[in-house]
Structure 1
Amino acid sequence: MELQNPNRPVAFWLLTMAGLIALMVIVGGATRLTDSGLSITQWDLVMGTLPPLSEADWQEAFALYKEIPEYERVNRGMSLEEFKFIFWWEWGHRNLGRFIGLAFLIPLAVFWATGRMRGRLRWRLVGLFLLICLQGAIGWYMVSSGLSERVDVSQYRLALHLSTALLLFSLVIWQALALLRPRGFRMSDPKLGRLAGLFLGAASVQIVLGAFVAGLRAGSSYNTWPLMDGRVVPEGYFGASPQLADLFERTQAVQFNHRLMAFVVVAAAALFVVRAVQQKRLLEAGLIGGSTLLQFALGIVALVTAVPLWLGLAHQAGALLVLAGGVFSLYALSDPRRREAPEAPPRAAPALQS
């Protein structure tokens, strides 16, 4: 009789962590869409967990916000109640990050102490925790870019912050799957595996391009589809003196790049689905095909409606669904015969015959 997988509780914990990371990304999107990211101008790992508790505390936090360029140039005259609205979004985002750190560290210590983890698994999970810590540091690095001269955060640092979150999300899902069903990396169908990798790469690039759209608020302009105000390539894609930075710093270019890459993702998904159906991998075909079509539709509707908050968040959640489907499909296509021996439970000794 096969022994129960001793790593199953660890896998379920990791899947819970993936859900929390997805929630963190969505709350971060809301923080960006509501212009709340610069409302807290200081970083305090411990005392920052407490919100203002008195009227004097609120006035002090508001006074600090009034010292940055965003207040002077964008929100001058804002009331205290309006400030509280953006404060709570940023405070919630930061404290959800703190909670995720503890929700990872404490079970990690318990699983380690009780022998649930062994071999390389322990160091992989420590690496994931360090990546969580790095993500928090990158978050503050991003916020700090908008506190002195800019009226918002750098789109480059925003893209870095989101990219790290997506990497963490993907690695956590992959490790959970590896514990539930250990597999190797050799593809059972190499061509389908390459198509899954192609899709996952294209989807990842598209999500990062979306971070530049959010960083420059490019979704608030050119709200027509499929053309951009009647043109395939918008006027002003490059500046008067074209340079590489225009691709990431001009609203026209950023939105066009995101639109164009969407078609690349759809094409990659279509190639995968056709091959997957031929090979009777219907689950993987449904995950990638369905999530991609849903995300494509959400993107169009969000664009033509000038990205209302709820649609912007739905579009961000759709991106996570696409990414999760791609990671699952790539893993599911790996060869099930190559198992990772270090994590396998020991076999019981055969009983002696009398």
Structure 2
Amino acid sequence: MAVAASTESVPLARLPDTQSPKARSLKLVRIWIYTLAALVVLMVAVGGATRLTGSGLSITEWKPVTGAIPPLTEQAWQAEFEKYRQISQYELVNKGMSLSEFKFIYAWEWGHRQLGRLLGLVFFIPLVWFWARGIIKRRLALTLLGIGALGGLQGAIGWIMVASGLEPGMTAVAPIKLALHLTVASIILACLVWVAAGLKDRSATASEASAGYAPRILVGLILAQIALGGLVAGSKAGYTYNTWPLMDGALVPPSSALFVVKPWIENFVDNVLLVQFNHRLLAYALVAYALWHAWKMRRYDSKSGASRRATGMACLLLAQMVLGIVTLLLVVPLWAGLAHQVFAMAVLAMAVVHARVSVVQA
């Protein structure tokens, strides 16, 4: 009897590992990709701080390798400062700036570029390791390489953006190029989250009612709104018309004010009234669509995962709209501008997860 009791106790003491080596490997890949996504969000946050502190033009050269080393001597700092004093931003905005003040704005831009280099290393080194071990192959490998290529393109876009602000007479980067830079960063984030969410095994999850194309439409609308937000930031439209819900004393400004620039197409970039108005309009439409989507999913099955995710998205978008209104009314303080930009990335990431899981569950 004693022997039998001892034999039966062994399985209780050592529970078997139910997770296969492949599942454990994919979990590591998923963690790595989510880490990359977090670094992209951090890049966006530091980029936003760089813009809001007026630091983006402090480094006037693009040196992808040697630029990683900051000035180390007083002579080197004076040389960098002299380069900055040659551009229009210094002459028209920061004339008389001290070296210590220059070091402050230089630090923001240098930190932003360093994060880009770190992101590249965190992407390529694990990618090579996973690929060499056969954990990543075929379609997943090609997908990740495509995202990596998009990241390389993003670095080039960043320099093109900075170069636009170094042209004679310019004191900031071109709004359309800043919007492009932010939008591409958002697309990279969306791609990373889509891939990572798709790697999770959901075979044991109960099936749920199909959400259709609504979650993917929601992702598209959020990306469009982020692009418009980039135009608002680039044209500094948030520093004007700081009232809500009225704008320039009306819910809908007169067309004569919305399309005052000639040719009319340039109003969508150069007219701060129209730029901000478009951002407001899409915000209303986005929140309305999210509320409709949540209501529709709750009608099907209020207890399903899709219904909970849709309700969560509606709440997140409402919160983001409120934060945007607060940022506008306070005339874009640093904390509010950063919070609005970073929260937009969180909203986008959650929308992508909702869309990806909806595809898997369909």
| Pair in the same fold by TM > 0.5 | yes
- Indicate the residue corresponding to 1:233 in structure 2: 252
Q: Report if the CA contact (8 A) 2:215-2:355 is conserved.
A: yes
Q: How many residues align?
A: 333
- Indicate the residue corresponding to 1:111 in structure 2: 130
- Indicate the residue corresponding to 1:313 in structure 2: 338
For residues 70 and 182 of structure 1, the distance between their equivalents in structure 2, rounded to whole angstroms, comes to 53
- Indicate the residue corresponding to 1:347 in structure 2: none
- Indicate the residue corresponding to 2:314 in structure 1: 289
1:26-45 superposed matches below 5 A? 26-45=45-64
Q: Secondary structure at the match of 1:43?
A: coil
- Indicate the residue corresponding to 2:243 in structure 1: 224
Q: Report if the CA contact (8 A) 1:135-1:164 is conserved.
A: yes
- Indicate the residue corresponding to 1:246 in structure 2: 267
Q: TM-score, length-normalised on structure 1?
A: 0.90
For residues 310 and 246 of structure 1, the distance between their equivalents in structure 2, rounded to whole angstroms, comes to 29
Residue 67 of structure 1, CA deviation = 0.8
Q: Report if the CA contact (8 A) 2:291-2:311 is conserved.
A: no
Residue deviations 1:283-315, cap 9 Å, x none?
Answer: 312331121011011001000000100110100
Q: Report if the CA contact (8 A) 2:123-2:148 is conserved.
A: yes
User: Of 192, 195, 203, which residue of structure 2 is paired with 1:172?
Assistant: 192
Q: Report if the CA contact (8 A) 1:193-1:330 is conserved.
A: no
Deviates more, 1:238-247 or 1:198-207: 238-247
- Indicate the residue corresponding to 2:149 in structure 1: 130
Which residue identity does 1:328 align to in structure 2? Answer: V
For residues 240 and 83 of structure 1, the distance between their equivalents in structure 2, rounded to whole angstroms, comes to 36
Which residue identity does 1:227 align to in structure 2? Answer: L
* Structure 1, unaligned runs of 5 or more: 338-354
Q: Is 1:194 matched with 2:213?
A: yes
- Indicate the residue corresponding to 2:118 in structure 1: 99
Which residue identity does 2:291 align to in structure 1? Answer: A
Q: Secondary structure at the match of 1:129?
A: helix
User: Of 289, 295, 308, which residue of structure 2 is paired with 1:274?
Assistant: 295
For residues 188 and 167 of structure 1, the distance between their equivalents in structure 2, rounded to whole angstroms, comes to 28
- Indicate the residue corresponding to 2:87 in structure 1: 68
Residue 324 of structure 1, CA deviation = 1.0
For residues 62 and 138 of structure 2, the distance between their equivalents in structure 1, rounded to whole angstroms, comes to 36
- Indicate the residue corresponding to 1:260 in structure 2: 281
Q: Report if the CA contact (8 A) 2:57-2:162 is conserved.
A: yes
Q: Report if the CA contact (8 A) 1:22-1:169 is conserved.
A: yes
Structure exhibiting the larger radius of gyration computed from Cα positions: 2
The 1:141/1:182 distance shift into structure 2, 3 A limit, reads farther
Q: Secondary structure at the match of 1:334?
A: helix
Which residue identity does 2:66 align to in structure 1? Answer: M
Percent identity over the alignment is 45
Residue 240 of structure 1, CA deviation = 5.6
Residue deviations 1:180-234, cap 9 Å, x none?
Answer: 1379xxx9755x3222122222111111000000001111111111111322233
Deviates more, 1:229-238 or 1:96-105: 229-238
For residues 44 and 162 of structure 1, the distance between their equivalents in structure 2, rounded to whole angstroms, comes to 21
Q: Is 1:3 matched with 2:20?
A: yes
Which residue identity does 1:23 align to in structure 2? Answer: L
For residues 2 and 106 of structure 1, the distance between their equivalents in structure 2, rounded to whole angstroms, comes to 26
For residues 240 and 322 of structure 1, the distance between their equivalents in structure 2, rounded to whole angstroms, comes to 34
Q: Secondary structure at the match of 2:342?
A: helix
Which residue identity does 1:155 align to in structure 2? Answer: P
Q: Secondary structure at the match of 2:114?
A: helix
Deviates more, 1:105-114 or 1:270-279: 270-279
Which protein has the bigger helix share? 2
Residue deviations 1:101-122, cap 9 Å, x none?
Answer: 0010100011111221122111
Q: Report if the CA contact (8 A) 1:288-1:322 is conserved.
A: yes
Q: TM-score, length-normalised on structure 2?
A: 0.88
For residues 261 and 184 of structure 2, the distance between their equivalents in structure 1, rounded to whole angstroms, comes to 34
Q: Report if the CA contact (8 A) 2:37-2:192 is conserved.
A: yes
Deviates more, 1:112-121 or 1:275-284: 275-284
Residue deviations 1:152-184, cap 9 Å, x none?
Answer: 11111111111111110000001111111379x
Residue 129 of structure 1, CA deviation = 1.2
Task: Report runs of 4+ in structure 1 exceeding 4 Å deviation.
Answer: 187-190
For residues 261 and 31 of structure 2, the distance between their equivalents in structure 1, rounded to whole angstroms, comes to 54
For residues 135 and 218 of structure 1, the distance between their equivalents in structure 2, rounded to whole angstroms, comes to 24
For residues 240 and 170 of structure 1, the distance between their equivalents in structure 2, rounded to whole angstroms, comes to 35
* Structure 2, unaligned runs of 5 or more: 1-17
For residues 234 and 39 of structure 1, the distance between their equivalents in structure 2, rounded to whole angstroms, comes to 37
Which residue identity does 1:24 align to in structure 2? Answer: M
- C-alpha RMSD of the superposition: 1.8
The 1:219/1:290 distance shift into structure 2, 3 A limit, reads same
- Indicate the residue corresponding to 1:162 in structure 2: 182
Residue deviations 1:33-69, cap 9 Å, x none?
Answer: 1111100000111111111111111111110001111
Q: Report if the CA contact (8 A) 2:194-2:356 is conserved.
A: yes
Q: Is 1:209 matched with 2:228?
A: yes
Q: Report if the CA contact (8 A) 1:199-1:272 is conserved.
A: no
Q: Report if the CA contact (8 A) 1:223-1:306 is conserved.
A: yes
